[in-house]
């Protein structure tokens, strides 16, 4: 009887200690990420809900990091967001594709690319002067616009030798193609076609981002507002890492579509290799800006649009050559007009 009593006491003590540690971790998280929930509103329901979401994420992070994985997870500003809120960070809508993208070396004018372009052991545009700083789409499913704009900014800069920052908001407001729906998703190649048709992309300073769809305010006749025009664009052959490397070397960053699953939101470091994202529909637009090898694992350097406080300064390393999360299914490049 005495042994049973002691066991019950120990269980209670452990439970109290666990709750105390969880509360301390929650408070530390709120302080670090400037989360302020008013505990006096609705009887503290918002606070309790957010805390539970955080603790559920905490359990998943600890379980994952205790195993033998090629990547690590950690808390970030998204750790207390609900699934519905996280879905607002996605937004690719795949349009009907009439034909499969062909190999670059099979296209007119590119037959000698494989011989002419030397594929380096690694390539990383993250610190290139033509790559604008990582942006934040916020709670708007406009990733498609960001994945269209970053490669265009880079291409224009290569032509003029001057950095340029272009407007995603113009696409959110003005691109009314059937697949492009402002904060409700779209597709990067369709966005490039739109920019060709309307005369170009406005400079961000003259058409700033608001993270919501507004009335179109683009003036195609105002040349001073145009930051870049699209000369051409095309897809790279699907599921061909070598072709992607050739395109990255020749044209710069590539727009791609990927499949985001739960672990992606908490990515912290290492080479991402979650099998849960394979074989599913794409739902997020990002940009591949390079490749490399870490601990004998080939990876792509992928630029996200959730700010610099996510991942590795806004980037993620994704396993290369295995079409991880469909990253190698829809790669595309754009060429800016001179």
- Which CATH number goes with the domain that contains 181? 3.90.70.10
Radius of gyration of the chain (CA): 23
Same domain assignment for residues 42 and 88: no
Which alpha helices (H) appear in 33-160, and where do they start and end?
45-65, 83-87, 113-116, 143-160
Residues 276 and 166 in one domain: yes
Domain-ending residue, one of 43, 68, 93: 68
Model confidence at 15, in pLDDT bands (50, 70, 90)?
Answer: very low
Q: Tell me, what's the pLDDT at 238?
A: 94
Q: Locate the DSSP E strands across 7-95.
A: 71-73
Q: Which domain holds residue 190?
A: 83-336
In a domain, 78, yes or no: no
| Neighbouring-strand partners of residue 312 | 315
Q: What is the percent of the chain with per-residue pLDDT over 90, rounded to a whole number?
A: 79
What mean pLDDT is predicted for residues 296-307? 98
Lowest mean pLDDT among 16-25, 83-92, 227-236, 252-261: 16-25
Instruction: Just list the catalytic residues.
Output: 143, 284, 304
158 and 193 part of one domain: yes
pLDDT tens-place string over residues 234-274: 999 999 999 999 999 999 999 999 999 999 999 999 999 99
**Are residues 55 and 149 both part of a single domain?**
no
Same domain for 63 and 87, yes or no, is no
Give the count of domains, the chain.
2
- Residue-level pLDDT at 101: 55
| Cα atoms in the 13 Å half-sphere on the side-chain side of 201 | 34
Distance (Å, whole) CA 317 – CA 274: 12
Name residue 92's beta-bridge partners.
186
d(CA 216, CA 222): 14
Which pLDDT does position 308 carry in this prediction? 98
- If asked whether residues 144 and 20 sit together in one domain, one would say no
Q: Are residues 179 and 63 in the same domain?
A: no
Specify whether 320 is located in the same domain as 203: yes
Please report the pLDDT score of residue 177 as a whole number: 85
In a domain, 77, yes or no: no
Q: Is residue 42 included in any domain, yes or no? A: yes
This prediction has a pTM of 0.90
| Alpha helices, DSSP H, located in 129-205 | 143-160, 168-174, 188-198
- What length is written for the chain? 338
Range 296-312 burial, b when 16+ CB lie within 10 A, else e = ebbbbbbbbbbbeebbb
Which pLDDT band, with edges at 50, 70 and 90, does 2 fall under?
A: low
């Amino acid at each position: 009887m005495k042994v049973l009593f002691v066991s019950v006491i120990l269980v209670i003590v452990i439970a109290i200690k666990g709750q105390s540690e969880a509360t301390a971790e929650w408070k530390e998280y709120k302080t670090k990420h400037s989360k302020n929930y008013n505990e006096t509103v609705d009887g503290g329901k918002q606070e309790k809900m957010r805390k539970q979401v955080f603790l559920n994420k905490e359990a998943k992070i600890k379980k994952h990091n205790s195993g033998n994985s090629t990547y690590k997870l950690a808390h970030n500003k998204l750790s207390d967001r609900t699934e519905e809120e996280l879905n607002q960070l996605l937004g690719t809508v795949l349009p009907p594709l009439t034909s499969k993208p062909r190999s670059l070396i099979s296209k007119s004018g590119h037959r000698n690319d494989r011989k002419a372009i030397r594929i380096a052991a690694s390539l990383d545009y993250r610190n290139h002067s033509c790559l604008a700083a990582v942006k934040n789409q916020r709670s708007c499913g406009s990733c498609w616009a960001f994945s269209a704009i970053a490669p265009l900014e880079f291409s224009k800069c290569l032509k003029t030798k001057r950095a340029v920052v272009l407007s995603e908001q113009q696409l959110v407001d003005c691109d009314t193609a059937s697949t492009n729906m402002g904060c409700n998703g779209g597709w990067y190649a369709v966005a490039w076609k739109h920019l060709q048709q309307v005369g170009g992309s406005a400079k961000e300073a003259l058409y700033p981002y608001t993270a919501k769809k507004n009335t179109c305010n683009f003036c195609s006749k105002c040349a001073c507002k145009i930051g870049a025009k699209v000369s051409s664009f095309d897809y790279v052959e699907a599921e061909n890492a070598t072709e992607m490397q050739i395109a990255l070397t020749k044209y710069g960053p590539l727009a791609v579509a990927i499949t985001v699953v739960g672990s992606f939101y908490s990515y912290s470091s290492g080479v991402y290799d979650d099998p849960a994202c394979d074989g599913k529909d794409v739902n997020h637009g990002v940009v591949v800006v390079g490749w490399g090898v870490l601990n004998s694992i080939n990876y792509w350097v992928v630029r996200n649009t959730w700010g610099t406080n996510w991942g590795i300064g806004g980037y993620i390393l994704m396993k290369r050559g295995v079409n991880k999360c469909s990253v190698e299914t829809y790669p595309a490049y754009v060429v800016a007009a001179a």
